[in-house]
Amino acid sequence: MITDALPIEVTPVATLLGGAFAATPQSRWIVPDDTDRPRLLADLFAPLVEHAVKYGRVGLVLDSLGDMHAAAVWLPSDAPEPLEPTGRYASRWAAFSAALAAQHPAAPHRHLALVGVRPDRQGRGFGTALLNHHHSELREAAYLEVESPQLAALYWRYGYRSGSPFPMPSGLPMWPMWRPARAGAPG
């Protein structure tokens, strides 16, 4: 079942995303602590998730028992800035976020800030289900960033087109990706 997250689900969503992103190269730079990276990432993601619940949308894939398998964090381009997290790696998160923000297009769009699937549930189509669900309702353009050409190729299947890679504070590149508004859609 696909549903929208409620305010009381911010912590479980952030925890799911912390686990989903723990092994990525950019996340390893943001939180170099191998021993507790999923939890530390969840702490950094929580303000963004809370912000998206309030100003945007956080889509969830739940099973019949209510267990979360995947989450997608969407924000409109005109949303106010989220609160910055605090803690041990907040300065790295702030540098990472600022580098991403500097690349955001000026045109109105929906930003797919985070999409992740629990590591033990990956490869079962949950991420695809979230994307298809949101894209079926999306009229305006969409934007996201990915950290590899392989991920860019995945999003190409959903109508996103890649721009030139840009450097991040980690020294690793990210690729901006843009999906045009539907024909006849406003904006």
> Can you list the pairs that 2-5 forms with residues at least 24 positions away whose Cβ atoms lie under 8 Å?
2/59, 2/60, 2/61, 2/62, 2/129, 2/130, 2/133, 3/59, 3/60, 3/62, 4/57, 4/58, 4/59, 4/60, 5/49, 5/53, 5/58, 5/59, 5/60, 5/71
CATH number of the domain residue 58 falls in:
3.40.630.30
Q: How confident is residue 82, by pLDDT bands cut at 50, 70 and 90?
A: confident
| Paired strand residues for 115 | 72
Cα(51)–Cα(35) distance, integer angstroms: 28
- Tell me: pLDDT of 186 over 70: no
Q: How many domains does the chain have?
A: 1
CA 95/CA 81 separation, integer angstroms: 15
Q: Give a yes or no: residue 159 inside a domain.
A: no
Q: pLDDT value at position 122?
A: 87
In-domain check, residue 119: yes
Could you report the per-residue pLDDT of 43-68, keeping only the tens digit for each?
Answer: 999 999 999 999 999 999 998 888 99
**pTM of the entire predicted model:** 0.92
Q: Is residue 157 part of a domain?
A: no
| pLDDT score recorded for residue 184 | 55
Residues 59, 117 contacting (CB under 8 angstroms): no
> Which pLDDT value is given to residue 187?
46
Please enumerate, as own/partner, the contacts of 31-39 that have beta carbons within 8 Å and a separation of 24 or more: 31/89, 31/92, 33/88, 33/89, 39/15
For the chain, the average pLDDT equals 93
93 part of a folded domain: no
* 128-176 pLDDT, tens digit each: 999 999 999 999 999 999 999 999 999 999 999 999 999 999 999 999 9
Domain that holds residue 69: 2-80+100-139
The Cα 44–Cα 88 span in angstroms is: 10
How confident is the model over 107-129, as a mean pLDDT? 93
- 67, part of any domain: yes
122 secondary structure, DSSP code: T
